[in-house]
Amino acid sequence: MTVRGNLPAQTTTFIGREAVLAETEALLGRARLVTLAGPGGMGKTRIAVETGRALAQAFQHGAWRVRLRDLKDPAALARAVATELRIVDNSPEPGLGRLVESLYDKHLLLVLDDCEHLLEAVRHLVHHLLRDCEGLTILATSREPLGVYGEQLLRVPPLSVDDAVLLFEERAEVAPDLADVTALCEAVDGLPLAIELLAAQPAGVVLSEVFRQPEPATLEQVLEWSARQCTDEERRLWARLSAFPADFDLAAAEAVADADVLKPLSALVHRSIVATATSPVTGETRYRLLDTVSQFGARLLTNADEPLRRHAVHYSEFVDEAARSWFSPGETRWMGRLWEEWPNIRAAVGHALRTPDLAAAGAAVTMNVQRARFTSFAGMLGQAWDLLTAAREVITEAPLRTSLLAHCAYMAQVRGDSAVAFPLMNEARALPRLPITDVHLVLAEATHLFFVEGSPDCVPLYAHVVELCREHSSPGDTYITELMHAMAACFLLDAEAADKTTTALARQAESNGVSWAHAWGLWHRGLYELLHGDPAQVHPLAVQALRIQLTLGDTWSTPFSLWLLACTCAELGANDRAARLLGALRSQERVSRISFSGMSPFRRVLDRADRTVRRSLGDDYQVITTLGADLRPEQVMAFALEPVPDSERRPVKPLLPGGLTRQEFTIAGLVADGYTSKQIAARLYISPRTADRHVVNIRVKLGLPTRVALAAWHRSATGER
C-alpha cells in the first residue's frame, strides 16, 4: 500500500527517545487521542513526527501533520486542517461540516502540532472529529493538556544523560571533554533544544557560564547565551526573521531584513538558530525558526512593526507577480510556490488589513490569489472568501471597494450562487469606478446575463471585457474572459458563431504552452460538438481535458469535465454510465460548491440529459445514480476516464439532410410549420434575434433565398406535402 500523508522529511538524525516512542505508540494503540505535553524545546514535534512515520503503515489513509503555529484566528482552525489534508473547502461558511464529511470514513492519524495558543478551538475541533469520525486517531503536541474526554496525556521527559551526550556529540563540530559534555547536559536538565544550541557554539565558549549556574540552566538562559555569541548583524537578522510564521526563502529573508543576509543567515544556520530544508518545488533552500527561538527573536526587536510591514509588502509583491505570470509554461511551479508560501501570504494579508496605509495592498492580495487561480486550483475558495470578506470590512472607499465587490460577485456567480452575487453587484453598480474596475464589474455583469438570464446579450459584453483586459490587465486575466466569451457563444449563439470562438480559443490554448488553458480548449471543443456537432467526438476530448486537470491538481475544473461527460453519455445512449456520472456529479457539486443548477445554460443541458436517462432506466434510475453518488472522488475520476464500450452506445443516427445539426433541422421544421422568429425563440428559449440569425444561417448553408424556400425544402426532406 502506498502511504499517504505530509510528514516532513528530516535533515538531522533522531537521537534516543526509544522509551517515549514506544509509550506513545502503545497509547495510540488503545486511545484515539494522545497529547504529548511539555515545555518549549522538549522535542514534542520531533517525537510526534517520528511516531507518525512509524505508524503510517498501520493507517489506511496515512499520517498527516497540521502545524498550528502560524494560525492566529481560532475561527479558521477547521479550514487550516482541511488545507493541510488537501480537502476541497470552497464553502463560504467556515465550519466543521466539510471536514467531517471528508474524514468520517477515513482511517487516518492526524497530528495537530503546537496547540497551546488555540486550546479552546482545538478542544472543540477534536471533540467533534473524534465523535463523528470513527476511524480517526489524533496525536497532539501542546504545552498544556487539551482537556478532551478520553485524552491520554504523555508528559515528554528530558533526554537521559546518555542520549543527551550522544545528541551533543552528534551536533557539535568539536566536542569538549566527555566529562564536560556530561556535566553540561546535566546542567541544562537534558533539554534537547538547549543541547542543540550549546553544541553549535564554539567549544568552551559558554561552558563556564553554564557551570557557574547554581540551578539547572533554563532554555531562556541558553537562548540569551546564544544571542550573546552572535554578531550585531546576526542578532538583528534573528530578530527580523521572527516576522515569519512559517518557512521562507532567501529572497523573503532579504526583503524583511532589507539587506544582503546570506552571510549572517548562514551563521544562524550554523548556530542551530535557523533550520533548513530543500524545497520540493524549486530545489532551493528554505529556512525556518522553531517557535521558541522565534518568540525569543521577537523580543530582540527594537521596532516590531518594521519587519512585519516588510513581510506584508514582500508577499504582496510576490502574489502580484504570480497573478501576472502564472499564465505560462511555468504554471505548475507557480502553484507549487503559492502552496509553500500560503501561511506567509495569509499572515501578510492579516497584518496589511490591520495597518491603515497597507490596507489597499492587503486587499489587492485577496483578489490576486484568485486571479492567479491558486485558490481555485487548490480547493481553497473558502479561505479566499474569508480574506475577501475581511478586506470588504476594511476597504470602504471606491474604486477599490468597487473592484472588491465585483470580484466577490463574480466568484459567487461562477459557483452558481446568484443569491450571494446580487447584493454585491447592486452595491458595486452604485460606486465610482476606474478602467481597471470596469474589468471586474463588466465581467460580473456579463456573467449575470450568461448564468442567470441565459441571454445572448452577454456575448458582446464579454467581447468588451476582453478588450479591456488586453489594455489594462494580464494575459491570464485576458484568457479567462476569452474563455467565458467562447463558452457563452457556444451555449447561446448559432453553430457558426460558436465554432468561430471555440476554434480561436483552442488554437490559442495549443500555442501558449499553458496546460490549464489547453484543458479548457479541449473542453470547449467538446462543448461545441455536444451542442452543435457530433456527440460521439465529445468523449475523448472531455477525457483528455480531465486527465490534464487531474495531473495539475485543478480541483475547480474537474466538475465541469464531469458535467460534460455525463451529458455526453446521455446523448450517446450510454444511460447506465450517464446515470452513475449524474449521481457522482451531484456529489461533486456538493464538495466543490459549484451549482450547475444555478447556471441556467448548464442546467438546461443537464436537465435534458437527466430526462433522457430517467426515461430510459425507469425504476433503475434512482438505484444507479445513488451508486454514482456513493463513489469516493478518486473512484469517480477513474470511472469517468474509462472509455465508453460500443455495447453501451446507441446506434449512430444517420446524418440529417443538408448536413444540418439537430437544432438547425428543428428550426427548419418550425419555419415549415409557419412559425415566426419570435415564436421560434419562445419555443426554444432563445432570443428572437438569435432565432432570426439561425434561420439566415440555415438558408445560407442550404443555398436557399427565402423562408418559403426553406419551408419547401424541409417538407421535401421529410417527405411531407
What does DSSP say about strands 33-37 and 136-142: parallel, antiparallel, or unpaired? parallel
Would you state the pLDDT for residue 645? 78
Strand partners, 108: 136
For 203, the grid coordinates are 567549544
375 versus 691: which is more confidently predicted? 375
Taking the mean position of all CA atoms in its chain, how far away is CA 240?
30
Asked if residue 210 has pLDDT above 70, the reply is: no
pLDDT (mean) for 71-96? 89
Would you state the pLDDT for residue 720? 67
pLDDT digits (tens, 9 = 90+) for 123-153: 999 999 999 999 999 999 999 999 999 999 9
Asked if residue 540 has pLDDT above 80, the reply is: yes
Please report the DSSP string for 226-273 in residue order.
Answer: HHHHS-HHHHHHHHHHTT-SS-B-HHHHHHHHTS--HHHHHHHHHTTS
582 lies in the same domain as 709:
no
The pLDDT mean for the chain works out to: 91
Confirm whether 279 is domain-assigned.
Answer: no
Q: pLDDT class for 650, splitting at 50, 70, 90? A: low
- Of the candidates 380, 379, 369, the one whose C-alpha atom is nearest the C-alpha of residue 407 is 369
541 lies in the same domain as 622:
yes
Asked if residue 654 has pLDDT above 80, the reply is: no
Check which CATH number belongs to the domain holding 713 and give it.
Answer: 1.10.10.10
Check which CATH number belongs to the domain holding 34 and give it.
Answer: 3.40.50.300
For 92, the grid coordinates are 463560504
Burial of 627 (0-12, 13-18, 19+ CB in 10 A): middle
pLDDT digits (tens, 9 = 90+) for 163-181: 999 999 888 877 678 888 8
Confirm whether 488 is domain-assigned.
Answer: no
Confirm whether 467 is domain-assigned.
Answer: no
Taking the mean position of all CA atoms in its chain, how far away is CA 288?
23
Number of domains the chain is built from: 4
75 lies in the same domain as 133:
yes
Q: Are 529 and 510 in contact (CB under 8 A)?
A: no
For 368, the grid coordinates are 490576486
Would you state the pLDDT for residue 1? 30
**Distance (Å, whole) CA 41 – CA 163:** 16
Would you state the pLDDT for residue 67? 93
25 lies in the same domain as 148:
yes
What percentage of the chain reaches a pLDDT higher than 70? 96
- Of the candidates 13, 9, 65, 6, the one whose C-alpha atom is nearest the C-alpha of residue 36 is 65
What percentage of the chain reaches a pLDDT higher than 90? 70
pLDDT digits (tens, 9 = 90+) for 279-310: 999 999 999 998 899 999 999 998 889 999 99
Would you state the pLDDT for residue 509? 77
Q: Are 697 and 496 in contact (CB under 8 A)?
A: yes
127 lies in the same domain as 151:
yes
What does DSSP say about strands 108-113 and 63-67: parallel, antiparallel, or unpaired? parallel
Compute the CA torsion angle 520, 525, 528, 530 (nearest 10 deg).
-100
For 334-374, what is the HEC assignment?
HHHHHHHHHHHHHHHHHHHHHCHHHHHHHHHHHHHHHHCCH
For 637, the grid coordinates are 475520476
pLDDT (mean) for 691-719? 88
Confirm whether 491 is domain-assigned.
Answer: no
Q: Are 683 and 644 in contact (CB under 8 A)?
A: no
CB neighbour list of residue 588: distance below 8 Å, 6 or more residues apart: 558, 559, 562, 594, 633, 636
Q: Are 367 and 73 in contact (CB under 8 A)?
A: no
Q: In terms of residues, how long is the chain?
A: 721
Provide φ and ψ at 455, rounded to 5°.
-95, 135
Provide φ and ψ at 133, rounded to 5°.
-125, 90
Give 154's Cβ-side CA count (13 Å radius): 26
356: amino acid identity, one letter: P
55 lies in the same domain as 144:
yes
151 versus 1: which is more confidently predicted? 151
469: amino acid identity, one letter: C
Give the structural domain span for 75: 17-155
For 265, the grid coordinates are 543567515
Burial of 216 (0-12, 13-18, 19+ CB in 10 A): middle
pLDDT (mean) for 609-627? 94
Confirm whether 45 is domain-assigned.
Answer: yes
Asked if residue 647 has pLDDT above 70, the reply is: no
Q: Which of 648, 676, 708 is the last residue of a domain?
A: 648
Provide φ and ψ at 201, rounded to 5°.
-80, 155
Asked if residue 214 has pLDDT above 60, the reply is: yes
pLDDT digits (tens, 9 = 90+) for 435-490: 766 788 999 999 999 999 999 999 999 999 999 899 888 999 999 999 999 999 99
Q: Which of 229, 245, 266 is the last residue of a domain?
A: 229
**Distance (Å, whole) CA 350 – CA 327:** 27
99 lies in the same domain as 140:
yes
675 lies in the same domain as 633:
no
- Of the candidates 283, 282, 354, 289, the one whose C-alpha atom is nearest the C-alpha of residue 318 is 282
Strand partners, 310: none
Sign (positive or negative) of CA dihedral 123, 49, 292, 192: positive
- The neighbour count for residue 646, using CB atoms within 10 Å, is 7
Confirm whether 59 is domain-assigned.
Answer: yes
CB neighbour list of residue 521: distance below 8 Å, 6 or more residues apart: 505, 506, 507, 508, 509, 510
Would you state the pLDDT for residue 203? 61
Q: Are 103 and 129 in contact (CB under 8 A)?
A: yes
pLDDT (mean) for 674-691? 83
88 lies in the same domain as 67:
yes
Taking the mean position of all CA atoms in its chain, how far away is CA 223?
38
- Of the candidates 452, 407, 450, the one whose C-alpha atom is nearest the C-alpha of residue 428 is 407
pLDDT (mean) for 103-124? 95
**Distance (Å, whole) CA 38 – CA 23:** 15
Taking the mean position of all CA atoms in its chain, how far away is CA 346?
13
- Of the candidates 312, 400, 399, 317, the one whose C-alpha atom is nearest the C-alpha of residue 363 is 400
Asked if residue 3 has pLDDT above 60, the reply is: no
Confirm whether 64 is domain-assigned.
Answer: yes
What does DSSP say about strands 285-288 and 108-113: parallel, antiparallel, or unpaired? unpaired
- The neighbour count for residue 283, using CB atoms within 10 Å, is 7
679 lies in the same domain as 562:
no
Give 179's Cβ-side CA count (13 Å radius): 0
Q: Which of 155, 185, 213 is the last residue of a domain?
A: 155
Query: 3-state DSSP call for residue 113?
Result: strand
Per the omega criterion (within 30 degrees of 0), is the bond before 399 cis? yes
For 556-617, what is the HEC assignment?
CCHHHHHHHHHHHHHHHCCHHHHHHHHHHHHHHHHHHCCCHHHCHHHHHHHHHHHHHHHHHH
9 versus 292: which is more confidently predicted? 292
- The neighbour count for residue 524, using CB atoms within 10 Å, is 26
**Distance (Å, whole) CA 334 – CA 322:** 7
**Distance (Å, whole) CA 560 – CA 539:** 13
Question: Which residues in 98-122 are b (16+ Cβ under 10 Å) and which e?
Answer: bbbebbeebebbbbbbbbbebbebb
582 lies in the same domain as 681:
no
Confirm whether 65 is domain-assigned.
Answer: yes
Would you state the pLDDT for residue 129? 96
Provide φ and ψ at 599, rounded to 5°.
-120, 105
Q: pLDDT class for 553, splitting at 50, 70, 90? A: very high
pLDDT digits (tens, 9 = 90+) for 19-74: 999 999 999 999 999 999 999 999 999 999 999 999 999 999 999 999 998 888 89
Compute the CA torsion angle 99, 104, 109, 110 (nearest 10 deg).
20
Query: 3-state DSSP call for residue 276?
Result: strand
Would you state the pLDDT for residue 2? 39
**Distance (Å, whole) CA 237 – CA 230:** 10
138 lies in the same domain as 191:
no
